[in-house]
């Protein structure tokens, strides 16, 4: 790609894809679908456009935005951030099916799940401590844990089993811990997983949490930003707070969640630290990252309305509708991939991704060359190496960042491009 022409030097892969897809929209995206060779298809950015029409009215209604709302977000009752935290606590407790509901002081809103992860790192780690995470994993962990908080990130590979080349086991976690040579302080699990799109089996989670909490001094941070992104027939999702192992130890398990994925509101930069460990929540608050990664007044106002509408029923119903829409979008995308004989990891029944196996298209220049070729033809996927995938040739496709029609057209175009590689 001609960086000079596009002016995208310095952007990361997802930012560049977003920019190019915006350009395509500007140029009359729908018209260009008839001439895909000239189109740019952003399938890289983890966004979700499926709920916008249902949310539009409530998130654009600022008529009741008051003088109080323009001030510093109020964390204490009856402040606006307090109200949102309380509503998020009620929403999450119901969606997770928790016997003992969360309270407002166990949920803390902050500017994005990235900031929630960073806040927890400041609270749990000192510089030089290690956060371990199974690979492949979200590339942003690097900046959340290491850039400002000064922790180290150790990504460990997962096991390969017949029918599942990316199968996390307790032994993998133990090996990850060993690689950190005594400095492992936090295990991060993304459930449902990005990029694999799997819900981790509850039995596996019990085993891993049981070992971490019983045999080590580590904390577990469960990144559940995709937890409501579930399709029909997905194996059961179990949140960390609903695990039996967690009931025996509330002090070392913490969850992060936000509005970017399940509600498709990534631009609101809204995330939450969720923990019943009072000392950890106190450290999160005392370290003030919530003030330095601010969650601003308008998103707080709008999201409070989303969660408060019809005494919470609107948001719960929206999540049910979302699952239906996501199921349909996944079905359409899988159909298009199958029609093009594009191979993918088949266990992706949650989150927003297909994990494409393009290994047979690798040539001498490897994954980089293949990615350059796709980009030159207007296809933007996230190369597995960006996500620390140990083996080259895997690419993440987000199937919710555009409407089904655009995704299907993009997959058809991808199929043509791959066929030309032979």
Ligand X SMILES: Cc1ncc(COP(=O)(O)O)c(C=O)c1O
Shortest distance, CB of residue 363 to ligand X, whole angstroms? Answer: 30
Residue 240 sits in the site that holds ligand X (CB under 6 A) = no
Binding mask 141-180 for ligand X (x = CB under 6 A): ----------------------------------------
Q: Which of 41, 257 has the CB closer to ligand X?
A: 257
Q: How far is the CB of 357 from ligand X (least distance, A)?
A: 20
- Does 44 sit near ligand X (CB under 6 A)? no
190-405-324-350 Cα dihedral, nearest 10 degrees: -20
* CB atoms closer than 10 angstroms to residue 156: 22
* Residue 351: how many other CB atoms lie within 10 Å: 30
Q: Which of 32, 225, 397, 398 binds ligand X (CB under 6 A)?
A: 225
Check residue 83 for interaction with ligand X (CB under 6 A): no
Positions in 119-138 near ligand X (CB under 6 A): 138
Q: Is 402 in the site for ligand X (CB under 6 A)?
A: no
18 is an interface residue for ligand X by CB under 6 A:
no
Among 172-180, 199-207, 258-266, 404-412, the segment contacting ligand X (CB under 6 A) = 258-266
Residue 76 CA to residue 82 CA, distance in Å, equals 5
Which CB sits closer to ligand X, 194 or 371? Answer: 194
Residue 372 beta carbon to ligand X: minimum distance, rounded to whole angstroms = 23
Contact 198, 204 (CB under 8 A): no
The residue among 190 and 377 lying less far from ligand X, judged by its C-beta, is 190
**Residues 176-195, interacting with ligand X (CB under 6 A):** 190, 194
Rounded distance between C-alpha atoms, residue 321 and residue 190, angstroms? 23
Helix (H) or strand (E) holding 420, with range, is helix 404-421
Residue 202's nearest CA partner among 241, 232, 237 is: 237
Span between the terminal Cα atoms of the chain, in Å: 21
Q: Is 273 in the site for ligand X (CB under 6 A)?
A: no
Nearer to ligand X, 140 or 157 (CB): 140
Q: Which residues contact 257 (CB under 8 A, 6 or more apart)?
A: 92, 113, 224, 225, 227, 271, 272, 274
User: Strands (DSSP E) along 216-311, which ranges?
Assistant: 219-223, 253-258, 271-274
Out of 106, 130, 231, 266, point to the residue binding ligand X (CB under 6 A): 266
48, 114, 348, 371: residue in contact with ligand X (rule CB under 6 A): 114
- The window from 91-99, 107-115, 365-373, 399-407 that contacts ligand X (CB under 6 A) reads 107-115
For ligand X (CB under 6 A), the number of binding residues is 14
Identity of the residue, 33 or 234, whose beta carbon is nearer to ligand X in the bound complex: 234
CB closer to ligand X out of 112 and 308: 112
Q: Which residue is nearest to ligand X (CB)?
A: 112
* Exposure letters 270-294 (e unless 16+ CB within 10 A, then b): bbbbbbbbeebbebbbebebbeebb
Out of 36, 136, 258, 393, the only residue in the binding site for ligand X (CB under 6 A) is 258
Minimum Å distance from CB 420 to ligand X? 31
Q: Minimum CB separation from ligand X for residue 289, in Å?
A: 13
Give the C-alpha distances (Å, rounded to integers) separating 98 from 93, 230, 238, 268, 331: 5, 18, 11, 27, 31
The number of beta carbons lying within 10 Å of the beta carbon of residue 407 is: 23
| DSSP-derived 3-state class of residue 299 | helix
Residue 39 C-beta: closest distance to ligand X, Å: 24
Alpha-carbon gap, residue 401 to 50, rounded angstroms:
8
Q: Which is nearer to ligand X, 119 or 266 (CB)?
A: 266
CA dist., res. 304 & res. 318, Å (int): 15
Taking the complex as a whole, the smallest distance from the CB of residue 301 to ligand X amounts, in Å, to 18
- Distance of alpha carbon 101 from alpha carbon 12, whole angstroms: 39
Per CB under 6 A, does 140 bind ligand X? Answer: yes
Beta pairing partners, 157: 135
State which of residues 19, 50, 84, 113 lies at the interface with ligand X (CB under 6 A): 113
Q: Residue 271, interface with ligand X (CB under 6 A)?
A: yes
Q: Indicate the residue among 136 and 308 with the shorter CB distance to ligand X.
A: 136
Helix H or strand E segment including 154: strand 152-157
46 is a contact residue toward ligand X (CB under 6 A):
yes
Return residues touching ligand X (CB under 6 A): 46, 112-114, 138, 140, 190, 194, 223, 225, 258, 260, 266, 271
């Amino acid at each position: 790609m001609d960086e000079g022409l596009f002016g995208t030097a310095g952007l990361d892969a997802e930012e560049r894809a977003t920019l190019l897809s915006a350009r395509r929209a500007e140029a009359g995206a729908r018209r260009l679908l008839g001439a895909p060779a000239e189109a740019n298809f952003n399938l890289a950015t983890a966004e979700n456009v499926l709920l916008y029409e249902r949310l539009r009215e409530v998130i654009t209604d600022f008529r009741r935005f008051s003088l109080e709302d323009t001030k510093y977000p109020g964390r204490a009752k009856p402040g606006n951030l307090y109200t949102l935290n309380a509503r998020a606590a009620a929403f999450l407790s119901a969606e997770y099916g928790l016997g003992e509901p969360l309270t407002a002081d166990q949920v803390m809103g902050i500017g994005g799940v990235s900031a929630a992860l960073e806040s927890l790192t400041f609270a749990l780690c000192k510089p030089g401590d290690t956060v371990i995470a199974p690979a492949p994993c979200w590339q942003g962990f690097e900046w959340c844990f290491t850039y400002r908080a000064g922790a180290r990130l150790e990504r460990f590979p997962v096991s390969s089993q017949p029918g599942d080349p990316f199968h996390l086991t307790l032994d993998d976690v133990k090996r990850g811990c060993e690689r950190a040579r005594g400095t492992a302080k936090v295990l991060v699990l993304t459930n449902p997983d990005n990029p694999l799109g799997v819900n981790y089996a509850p039995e596996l989670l019990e085993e891993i949490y049981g070992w971490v909490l019983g045999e080590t001094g580590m904390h577990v941070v469960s990144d559940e930003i995709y937890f409501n992104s579930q399709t029909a027939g997905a194996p059961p999702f179990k949140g960390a707070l609903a695990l039996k192992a967690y009931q025996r130890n509330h002090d070392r398990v913490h969850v992060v969640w936000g509005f970017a994925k399940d509600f498709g509101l990534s631009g609101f930069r809204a995330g939450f630290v969720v923990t019943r460990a009072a000392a950890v929540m106190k450290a999160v608050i005392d370290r003030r990252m919530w003030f330095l990664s601010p969650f601003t007044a308008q998103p707080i106002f709008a999201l409070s309305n989303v969660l408060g509408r019809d005494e919470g029923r609107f948001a719960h119903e929206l999540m049910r509708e979302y699952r239906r829409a996501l199921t349909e979008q996944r079905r359409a995308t899988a159909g298009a991939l199958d029609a093009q004989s594009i191979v993918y990891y088949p266990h992706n029944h949650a989150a927003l991704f297909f994990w494409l196996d393009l290994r047979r298209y690798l040539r001498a220049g490897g994954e980089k060359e293949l990615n350059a070729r796709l980009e030159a033809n207007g296809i933007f996927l996230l190369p597995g190496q960006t996500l620390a995938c140990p083996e080259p040739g895997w690419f993440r496709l987000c199937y919710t960042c555009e409407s089904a029609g655009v995704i299907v057209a993009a997959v058809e175009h991808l199929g043509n491009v791959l066929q030309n590689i032979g």
